[in-house]
Structure 1
Amino acid sequence: MPPTTTASARRAPGPLGAALRSRWLLALGFVAVHVWVVHQAIRWGNTIYGDVTLYEWWARHGLTTGQWPVLDYDWVYPVGALVPVTLPALVSGGLLGYEIVWTAMVVVLDAVATVVLVRAAPRGVLGAWWWLAFLVALGPIFVGRLDGVVAPLILIALVIASRRPALAAAVATAGAWIKIAPGAVVVALAATRARWRDLWRQVVVPGAVVSAVVVGLALAGGAGQRAFSVFGQQEARTLQAESVFATWFSVARLWDPSVTIEYNDVIYTYEVQGQAAQHVAELLDVLLPVAVLLLAALTWWTAHRRPDHAGDILLLSTAALLLSLIVFNKVGSPQFVAWVGPPLAAAIALAGPGTRRMWAPPAVGALLAALGTQIVYPVAYGEFLAGEPGMITVEGLRNLTLVVLLAGAVWRIVQLGRDGVREPVRADPAA
């Protein structure tokens, strides 16, 4: 028998590696993680399912009176959100039944996304394990908000983007009509198209078709200008207590009693009060779209200089765009962090051999940001609102982590686009 070579020994997975590659074990892990997440959601009750209670009211009210959000009055969500909000009401009775069906819908969507991820590449199982770890770190908020619907759609779109970009654009556009975040995938796809023909055929046409269907149905239902009312609703909001740019105000509460947080009973959030906070919120209304435009331009520049890294640039750009939608957002809801997981999970599965290691630090950072989010909400949200120093510190570190992740993604896009940056494609023993 020939002696085992060093390369062969490195290629042979150990017991842990073999276990992590087992799809059966992954299936068991998926069930265990989601049982735990759902159990925690039930344990926290209305703290997690408070928004779902609103979803149920909107759906039941529409079904019984014919008065629907967007179609008949302004709403805080895009019109496409009516689909996931209404579906559970069609097959359930009462609030409890709605919550059960809602939770099952989120879990099924996540199962579909996980299967798509696993089948994407040999490293898909590893990416799926990281995704499950991310969900454990983030906690039960994942199943209690619309973000539990759109995060799997973001993951699916990113996984299929290299093989079926038109379908990815359609999925992401549909997700953006539920909640804006999946639009980051559409922007990244558009910015990474090498030719105008590809841009038109793979992004513009599928996105326009989906949007035309959604807006057309809304207009047929009598929405009128309310089809776009979500943008006006967001402009009326001020600086949310958990948002990244509210960090200074939270820290200032430790020594300045004039900095206060009050409950907005119209949109059900806690907001920083005062003229300074209002000015910051107004500034963010400008900074957010500017950041998105600058990132799109940077992505286009890098993609045209480095077509050999098109897949990595798409993932980096999506991550940067999603992080910018959190960092420069005056709304800082904890469930937004769910958007950060999909590009990292997809990158772990799909990144090229020469760039796989660059995703390890942000993967750890995203887990820490998710864990910090869960600690603050739901575990110690009362302490955070009360100005308890420990929770203010955790929230501040969580927000700092998000800023570092954004800066790291931008820096890496710039690095890839600079002259002379040519990373050798090395054989990866784990491939």
Structure 2
Amino acid sequence: MTSRARRRPRIALWAAFVLVHALVAWLGWMLPGQPMGDVVLVYEPWSTSAVTGGAVVGITEPWVYPHLALVPMLLAKGIAVLLAPLSALFGALSGSGAYLVAWALLVTLVDALGFLLLTGGRRSVARRSAAWFWLAALVLLGPVAMYRIDAITVPLAVMAGVWLISRPAVAAALLAAAAWMKIWPGAVLLAALALLRRRMRMLVAAALVTAGVIGLVALLGGGPFLLSFLTEQTSRGLQIEAVAATPFLWLAAAGRARIDYSYDILTFQIGAPGAGLVSTLLTPVMVVVVLALCVLAVRRLRDGADPLRLLPPTALALVVALIVCNKVGSPQFQVWLIAPVILWILYDRRRAGTAVTLVLVLCLLTLAVYPITYDALLRAQVLPIVLLTARNALLVALGIVAVRAMLRTPRQRSRRPA
């Protein structure tokens, strides 16, 4: 094969990368339902307050996100300032538009770093397949795949997945840093610590990152709010997109439940008898499910299962548990599924097909609900409830597929390093 022929797949991938990110960014401006609302309604005010001497979320007041989530918001603010001189030429670069464009550019840049690591270096069918899956998932999920803080954590987790074997300490550090933005990458780290041999290196690296974050927060005076991202969640009700909210949505369609707006959390929640109890029970249920999955993974490892092939379904099962047992259930949670499935494609491509298909369908159903039919969902109309019910049912099915793959992971054939 000539060098030109070898370059063609990579050129096609990068051309698709540019087109996909441009399309998804543009859809944020065109689709209904304010799919970019979080960026301009909360991220920009938080970052503006921090750089102008006002309140600093997580430092001078409690915050719903882990502390490092503020870093990309501040970076986007800096990019928006750099774009300000161009506002005379491009109207979109004035006011909040500049911050939206800056956020899209930041996400695209971080995605490009992850994409470069995934597709560069060693050329393989698995890596190309993983890259195409990533792009397809972004298109099918739409603007929430870009205009949310979760978008920053996905490429970090992808890079960590590529480095888990060759650079386990770096991978663990990336996952720990990402978990201090949104908690879900901690599930991938937990799976790696349970199954891979060089766990002490990973544990030390993750501990150093965590110690650094805690030390910085304490130095800035945010010690009293160190765990506010956990305590602030206790006041949340059952969000309408949560899997456990599905029966209540059908009650709302029948006029026997309400959809209320929480001005404290800025989300739509279920108002009905029993919804509060369900919301309270979900967190301990999540803890039990996560622990059970970890025990299952360790037992399968001791039974001789190949750790590299056991790792991806374990990581995916843990991430699905964080979504299914969550009282929130925001649409952007679907991007959490991308990194574990990429890991599955890289390490066990032949068994990843069902998970790949389910995640892509989940992304499409989520887009159909939010933002396309979200207004109708808030009015408890049947069509979006049907779509959301199907999405939530497929989430549960994906978890079953992941657990089944854990149970059927082949035994290790050789003494290759895990």
- Does TM, scored on the shorter chain, surpass 0.5? yes
Q: 2:84 — aligned with what?
A: none
Q: Does 1:253 align with 2:252?
A: yes
Q: Does 1:300 align with 2:298?
A: yes
For structure 1, which segment, 46-55 or 205-214, has the greater mean C-alpha deviation from structure 2 after superposition?
A: 46-55
Q: Deviations over 1:18-49 (max 9, x none)?
A: 89971111111111111110110121377122
Q: Does 1:131 align with 2:118?
A: no
Task: Give the Cα–Cα distance (whole angstroms) in 2 for the partners of residues 133 and 82 of structure 1.
Answer: 28
SS of corresponding position for 1:92: helix
Q: Does 1:191 align with 2:194?
A: yes
Task: Give the Cα–Cα distance (whole angstroms) in 2 for the partners of residues 108 and 311 of structure 1.
Answer: 29
1:70-85 correspondence to structure 2 within 5 Å: 70-85=58-73
Q: 1:282 — aligned with what?
A: 280
The 3 A distance-change label for structure 1 pair 422 and 211 is closer
Aligned-pair CA distance for 1:322: 0.8
Q: Deviations over 1:181-229 (max 9, x none)?
A: 11111101110134xxx322x2210001000111100000001130111
Task: Give the Cα–Cα distance (whole angstroms) in 1 for the partners of residues 130 and 401 of structure 2.
Answer: 20
Q: 1:325 — aligned with what?
A: 322
Q: 2:235 — aligned with what?
A: 236
What letter corresponds to residue 265 of structure 1 in structure 2? Y
Residues paired across the two proteins, number: 395
Contact 1:56 1:89 in 2 (8 A): yes
SS of corresponding position for 1:340: helix
SS of corresponding position for 1:144: coil
Contact 1:157 1:185 in 2 (8 A): no
Q: Does 1:345 align with 2:342?
A: yes
SS of corresponding position for 1:48: coil
Match of residue 156, structure 2, among 153, 157, 181: 153
Task: Give the Cα–Cα distance (whole angstroms) in 2 for the partners of residues 22 and 224 of structure 1.
Answer: 50
Task: Give the Cα–Cα distance (whole angstroms) in 1 for the partners of residues 221 and 54 of structure 2.
Answer: 12
Task: Give the Cα–Cα distance (whole angstroms) in 2 for the partners of residues 304 and 136 of structure 1.
Answer: 40
Task: Give the Cα–Cα distance (whole angstroms) in 1 for the partners of residues 252 and 227 of structure 2.
Answer: 37
What letter corresponds to residue 104 of structure 1 in structure 2? L
Q: Deviations over 1:322-351 (max 9, x none)?
A: 111100000010000001112212322x22
What letter corresponds to residue 63 of structure 2 in structure 1? W
Q: Does 1:27 align with 2:1?
A: no
Q: Deviations over 1:351-409 (max 9, x none)?
A: 24xxx332111110100000000000011101112122121111000000010000110
Task: Give the Cα–Cα distance (whole angstroms) in 1 for the partners of residues 403 and 282 of structure 2.
Answer: 19
Match of residue 269, structure 2, among 262, 271, 283: 271
Q: Deviations over 1:159-181 (max 9, x none)?
A: 21121111111000000001101
Contact 1:165 1:189 in 2 (8 A): no
For structure 1, which segment, 286-295 or 396-405, has the greater mean C-alpha deviation from structure 2 after superposition?
A: 286-295
Task: Give the Cα–Cα distance (whole angstroms) in 1 for the partners of residues 8 and 282 of structure 2.
Answer: 44
The 3 A distance-change label for structure 1 pair 65 and 359 is same
Q: 1:64 — aligned with what?
A: 52
The 3 A distance-change label for structure 1 pair 246 and 410 is same
Aligned-pair CA distance for 1:318: 1.1
1:387-406 correspondence to structure 2 within 5 Å: 387-406=380-399
Aligned-pair CA distance for 1:422: 4.4
Q: 2:103 — aligned with what?
A: 102
Q: 2:332 — aligned with what?
A: 335
Aligned-pair CA distance for 1:291: 1.4
Unaligned runs of at least 5 residues, structure 2: 82-94
Q: Does 1:141 align with 2:144?
A: yes
Match of residue 180, structure 1, among 178, 183, 187: 183
Contact 2:331 2:366 in 1 (8 A): yes
Q: Identity, % of aligned pairs?
A: 34
The 3 A distance-change label for structure 1 pair 248 and 20 is farther
Q: 2:36 — aligned with what?
A: 49
Q: 1:15 — aligned with what?
A: none
Match of residue 37, structure 1, among 8, 15, 24: 24
Q: Does 1:413 align with 2:406?
A: yes
Task: Give the Cα–Cα distance (whole angstroms) in 2 for the partners of residues 225 and 294 of structure 1.
Answer: 32
Contact 1:134 1:370 in 2 (8 A): yes
Unaligned runs of at least 5 residues, structure 1: 1-11, 13-17, 426-431
Q: 2:206 — aligned with what?
A: 207
Q: 1:9 — aligned with what?
A: none
SS of corresponding position for 1:47: coil
Task: Give the Cα–Cα distance (whole angstroms) in 2 for the partners of residues 130 and 254 of structure 1.
Answer: 36
What letter corresponds to residue 250 of structure 1 in structure 2? L
Task: Give the Cα–Cα distance (whole angstroms) in 2 for the partners of residues 413 and 361 of structure 1.
Answer: 14
Q: 2:379 — aligned with what?
A: 386
Contact 2:188 2:315 in 1 (8 A): yes
Contact 1:169 1:185 in 2 (8 A): no
Q: Does 1:364 align with 2:367?
A: no
Task: Give the Cα–Cα distance (whole angstroms) in 2 for the partners of residues 290 and 80 of structure 1.
Answer: 27
What letter corresponds to residue 301 of structure 1 in structure 2? R
Task: Give the Cα–Cα distance (whole angstroms) in 2 for the partners of residues 231 and 89 of structure 1.
Answer: 26
Q: 2:91 — aligned with what?
A: none
Contact 2:76 2:102 in 1 (8 A): yes
Contact 1:117 1:346 in 2 (8 A): no
Contact 1:19 1:25 in 2 (8 A): no
Contact 1:162 1:311 in 2 (8 A): no
Q: Deviations over 1:234-254 (max 9, x none)?
A: 111011000111111112333
